[in-house]
Amino acid sequence: MFGTYLVRELTNRRKQTAIIATGMALAIALVIIVNAVAAGVSAAQTSVLASVYGVGTDITVTQTPTAPTQGSNGTRAGGGPGFDFGAADGRTADGSTTLSQTHLGVVRGTETFDASSLDTIVGVENVAAATGTLALDNITFNGTIPTQRQSGGTTDTTPPPGGLDGAGGSSFNVDTFTVLGLDVAGAAVGPLTAVTLTDGRTFTAADAGSDVVVVDSAYATSASLAVGGTLSISGTDFEIIGLVASGSGAATASNTYIPLDVAQSLAGLDGKLSSIYVQAASSNNISQVQADIKNALPDATVDTQADLASSVSGSLSTASGLLSSLGTWLSVLVLAAAFLIAILFTISGVTRRTREFGTLKAIGWSNRRIVGQVAGESLVQGTIGGILGVAGGLIGILLINLFAPTLTASATVQRVAGFGGGPRAGGGGAPGETAAAATTTDITLHAPVTGTIILVAVALAILGGILAGAIGGWRASRLRPAEALRSVA
């Protein structure tokens, strides 16, 4: 009887069924689409951040920079590298002196900290992996100056005959490339996860302590380098074992990559790091890991992907903002409206069917049976709405994926302007100048569909049906049979 009555009601009161189911379907479709687009935008953001900060990195740890002191680490006051030449330095020939000096030091704007911090971080609960790096600049000064002449106690003011042009002229050349020292055994997280091997090989654990280098392919092209060749870093020849390509926006991108211990030794920074990349055991642990690291290393700057996401701008950021504000609220509002429509129509239906329920009570139907009947009808209406909503949502997602709108994403990364060319973003600035470099990426939005979203949507529809049915059934149960019949009379 329950099933027959239910089917008859739903099919003979099509208008009410259609309105409730349509309202619910719209809400469910919107929930599915908003969630799928949000997941797509989130994936796009993750993709942008992965290209900037490396795959799998949940947290980055750096040291807050302090004002440099003169002579520290070969720098001048103000933080720039210094080159000191003695009277006997250089090679003199034909009235000209050729000078050359290489400085390998920490990238300006970054601060080193003790490598024991890495052990501290590895010991933090829910840290799955962590690796440390040392970012360095290799700056080579080359110059030709005329040889100075002195006679007696007076200085000869006539121009020297030597120099570049034979008339006392000078020429200077400064060549810079970046060197990133990294743990050759730890590839699960960190800078190497943001690059792609294009030639040769990448590091193995056996490369620790070896003078081997992996070179960025763009830099290799500009500097005419190839696998099997050599590259001089701070006066030491390194064998080029591989070429890698990195996104131009990668914050961790470097011209060259060498074993961490070698980098520390060459730069005179034994036991020092400039960054640590941390992977949490689970995305749910990131906040806790961040807080624990901050507690363990109070002087460190600890950033999560969420902090880094704020550096992503462009239409991707706009879409993300829209989804997190308008999209979510729109979903909630439409869902609430659908629930309200379902409840009001059910109550209205109960009111309209007062005589019917009064009659059923008069012939012996219990309140429980009547509540069950009303709730069953609402549940089926909600479920129909849920199924239609899932279908509508899937069609909407299909259309989004077919049209695949392109979003632009700009990731702003703090960098140090170099002297020469190379892949370093922001290159071209004054030497040693810190610059905010924005790299723009076009990302095609794909809205993924997950079983969870569909299950949640159907559950919401069923919940709406149950809610409407419960309220409608409660109204029906409160009808006193005599009053219900009297109201008809």
Partner 1 sequence: MYELKNVSKSYEQTRRRVTALDDVSLSIPDGQMVAIQGPTGGGKSTLLQMLGALERPTKGTVVLGNAELSALPDTKLASIRAREVGFVFQSFNLIPTLTAQENVETALAPLGVPGVERRARAAAALESVGLGDRASHRPDELSGGQQQRVAIARALVKEPDVLLADEPTGSLDEETRDEIMDLLEGIWRDRGLTLIVVTHDSAVAKRAERRLHIKQGKVTEKK
Residues that bind partner 1 (CB under 8 A): 1-2, 4-5, 8-9, 11-13, 355-356, 358-367, 369, 481-482, 485-486, 488-489
| Residue found by looking up tokens 């074992």 in the block | 241
Minimum gap (Å) between residue 345 Cβ and partner 1: 16
Secondary structure (3-state) at 30 = helix
Phi, psi of 289 (to 5 degrees): -65, -40
Which CB, 7 or 226, lies closer to partner 1?
7
C-alpha distances out from residue 226 to 215, 222, 245, Å? 9, 11, 13
Q: How far is the CB of 41 from partner 1 (least distance, A)?
A: 47
**What CA–CA distance (Å, rounded) separates 48 from 11?**
51
**Contact predicate 238/231, CB 8 Å:** yes
The secondary structure of residue 160, as a DSSP letter, is: P
State the Cα–Cα distance between residues 154 and 152, nearest whole angstrom. Answer: 6
Distance CA 454, CA 318 (A): 26
- Give just the sign of the alpha carbon dihedral 342, 347, 351, 355: positive
By beta-carbon proximity to partner 1, the closer residue of 96 and 346 is 346
91: left (phi over 0), alpha (psi -120 to 50) or beta: beta
> Residue 474 Cβ, how far from partner 1 at the closest point, in Å?
15
Select 411 or 484, whichever has its Cβ closest to partner 1.
Answer: 484
The distance of closest approach from Cβ of residue 3 to partner 1 in the complex, given in angstroms and rounded to an integer, is 10
Answer positive or negative: Cα dihedral of 377, 383, 387, 393. positive
Alpha-carbon torsion angle 36, 37, 43, 45, nearest 10: -160
The sign of the CA dihedral 66, 72, 76, 77 is: positive
Nearer to partner 1 by C-beta: 13 or 76? 13
Q: Is 82 helix (H, G, I), strand (E, B) or coil?
A: coil
- Supply φ then ψ for residue 362, to 5 degrees: -65, -30
Residue 94 CB neighbours (<10 A): 10
Least separation, in Å, of the C-beta of 355 and partner 1? 6
Copy the structure tokens of residue 430: 């004054």
Q: What are phi and psi of 13, to 5 degrees?
A: -115, 60
Task: Please report how many Cα atoms fall inside a 13 Å half-sphere around the Cα of residue 320, on the Cβ side.
Answer: 21
> Which residue, 93 or 488, is less far from partner 1 as judged by CB?
488
Tell me the CA end-to-end span of the chain in Å, nearest whole number: 27
For the CB of residue 6, give the shortest distance to partner 1 in the complex, in Å: 10
Whichever of 186 and 358 has its CB closer to partner 1, that residue is: 358
Q: At what angle do helices 14-53 and 2-12 cross, to 10 degrees?
A: 90
> Among residues 326 and 482, whose Cβ is nearest to partner 1?
482
- Distances from the Cα of 4 to the Cαs of 1, 291, 377, 487, in angstroms? 5, 60, 11, 27
Q: CB atoms < 10 A from the CB of 401, how many? A: 17
State in angstroms the smallest separation of the CB of 1 from partner 1.
Answer: 4
Contact indicator for 121, 127 with CB cutoff of 8 Å:
yes
Closer residue to partner 1 (CB): 91 or 486: 486
Closer to partner 1 by CB, 13 or 294: give it: 13
The vertex-270 CA angle with 267 and 276, nearest 5°, equals 95
